[in-house]
Structures are given as C-alpha cells and as structure tokens.
Amino acid sequence: MGERGARSTDSGPKRRRYRTGRVRILVTNDDGVHAPGLAALVRALAAWTGSNGHELVVVAPLANYSGAAAAVGTVYEREAIAFRRVRIEGVEGVDVFGLDAPPALTAIVGVYGAFGPRPDIVVSGINLGVNVGRSVLHSGTVGAALSAAQHGLRALAVSLRSQPVPHRWDTAAAVALAVIPVVAAAPPRTVLNLNVPNLALSELRGVAPARISDAGIVKGARVTTRPGDAGTVELELGAAVPSLGDTSEEDPTDDAALVAAGFAALTALHGVGEAYGPEAEAVVVAAVVAAGSILST
C-alpha cells in the first residue's frame, strides 16, 4: 500500500498475463450517444481494438439518462425500441447506434445480439461526474454495467470528476484501456467501477482499490407547504467528492476520498442477489411466520 493506503499502478507483484483472444466490446453510457465522454472513450477504444484484432460496437441512449440506475422503462407499453445510426467524428468505421432507451436497456439489447454478436464486455462511460458513494446505486453508468453482469457479461463503468475544467477525458480513457484486459480475463459477471480525478495523466497519483464511501449529492430535504394540498420539497445538496480531511469520519480508502486526493479509485461491485447469513435468514423466517399467520385466522 502506498501513501494514504493507495497502491500505485507501477508497484506490486509481477503483472499477470491475460488471454489474447478476440474480445467484442459494447460501449454505452448514460449521458447520451452524443456526449463528449463517450466519443473520447470510443476513439481510444477504436485505436486499441484495431491494433489488437478486437471488435467494437456502440449502443447508447439518444437522450441523457443520468440518474436512471438500472431502469429499463415502460417496456410493456411499447412494441419496439426506435434507434438511429450516429456518427462519431474520427471513428467513422465503428458502428454507433442511438436508442430511445435508458442505459440498462441498451446493454440488455446488446447482450441479446440486436446489433451483432453477443459482446464479451460492456464498457459504460465516460461519465461526466464521478459515481462514488451512494450515487453508485443511482447511476445510469453503473446501472448499465450491472445489467450486463446480470446477463453473464463482464463490465466496466468509467467516470471522470467534473471539476476543474477542461475535462481530461484522455486520462480516464487511458486508465480504462489499461483495466480492460483485466476485466476480459476476469470471471463472468465481474463489474469494476472506475472513478478518475480530472487531472493530466502525469499528475495522477496512482490507481487504488477503493471502498464505497457514504458520500452523496443529496444531503437533506425539507418541505415547504402552500395553501391547499400542494407544496415543494427543497433539497440540500452536497458534493459527491469531499475534500480529504473534511471530517473525522472520512476513510482515506473510500472512493470519494481517493479521487479527491488525486487517485483513480477502482471498486468491484456486486449486483442484485440474495442476502445470505444468519441475520438475513432470521428476518425472512420471521416474516414468513408473520405472513403465514393470516392464513390460520
């Protein structure tokens, strides 16, 4: 472990060799198919896949779906999903499709081969704004990755801190490219969440394993009533990335703290699944007994 519990990318055991077979990558995001972060990622991936014999396809929402999590929308209320081809400057040879669908659904239709063979990996991003702490649950960027994993794929979600400007998409893309071969060799359903500070690559302090912090954009809520039955809820907003050392509760290995300190934070995520353990089982048994009591009355 390096400074503040972080492990630099140039330290540690000898680098493992990863498989070199052809990999098909599906790229999506939640900022929309016309977002600059997606374009930067696709350009970087196109150069990498072209030189390694891998395949690349882009299937992303036509509109901005930030905060959509793993929503698929009202799929039972429409017969089909509209799409159109989109051009990304500099990578005209890459198939790019914009869908009238949220990020999770774009990943799912890609999994089922709507736009070519089933992909091996879904890469979601580059999102403008980190997805750390409680925002991991609500992020459309992460939601697409988790949805891909639920269908047996490996996935990587990539996000860049929004401040300061200009945005260093190149740094986030470079770190993502370094991580993708590891994701390709990982067990099925592996999901990594990568959050990168908005720094030049030469200024990045390292890449570190991270825990999910308790950072959140919404810090509180209060109600203002109006005459009648209406009113408003005013939100108290905070910063998703705190300044390191702001509170005594802050753990330097938290994802938000690491990004604030100049490290790229990398976290393995687990999607929806059964909760195991004595406590969870005890709650389920008690609930079953309670619900069953209505059948005996």
Which is higher by pLDDT, 79 or 64? 64
Could you report the per-residue pLDDT of 203-224, keeping only the tens digit for each? 999 999 999 988 777 888 999 9
- The pLDDT score that the predictor gives to residue 247 is 45
For residue 166, the one-letter residue type is: P
CA 171/CA 206 separation, integer angstroms: 12
**CA-CA distances (angstroms) from residue 205 to 29, 201, 202, 250?**
26, 9, 8, 19
Residue 5: pLDDT above 60?
Answer: no
- Percent residues over pLDDT 70 in the chain: 89
* CATH no. of 3-214+241-269: 3.40.1210.10
How much is the pLDDT for 215? Answer: 77
pTM, rounded to two decimals: 0.87
pLDDT at 186: 96
Angstrom CA distances, 86 to 39, 57, 103, 170, stand at: 11, 12, 16, 22
Task: Give the whole-angstrom CA distance, residue 221 versus residue 239.
Answer: 15
Q: How many angstroms separate the CA atoms of 295 and 128, rounded?
A: 52
Taking only the tens place, the pLDDT of each residue in 148-197 is 999 999 999 999 999 899 999 999 999 999 999 999 999 999 999 999 99
In terms of Cα–Cα distance, which of 25, 22, 274, 265 is closest to 145?
A: 25
pLDDT tens per residue across span 70-84: 999 999 999 899 999
pLDDT at 3: 32
Quick one: which of 11, 145, 13 has its CA closest to 68? 145
Is 70 exceeded by the pLDDT of residue 243? no
Highest-pLDDT range among 16-20, 51-55, 157-161: 157-161
pLDDT > 60? residue 12: no
Angle between helices 140-150 and 103-111 in degrees, nearest 10: 30
Torsion, Cα 61 70 193 20, to 10 degrees, reads: -70
pLDDT in tens, 69-118: 999 999 999 989 999 999 999 999 999 999 999 999 999 999 999 999 99
pLDDT over threshold 80, residue 248: no
Please report which residue ranges of the chain form alpha helices under DSSP H. Answer: 36-52, 103-111, 135-138, 140-150, 169-185, 255-260, 278-292
* pLDDT mean across residues, the chain: 89
Instruction: Please state, in angstroms and rounded to a whole number, the distance separating the CA atoms of residues 146 and 150.
Output: 6
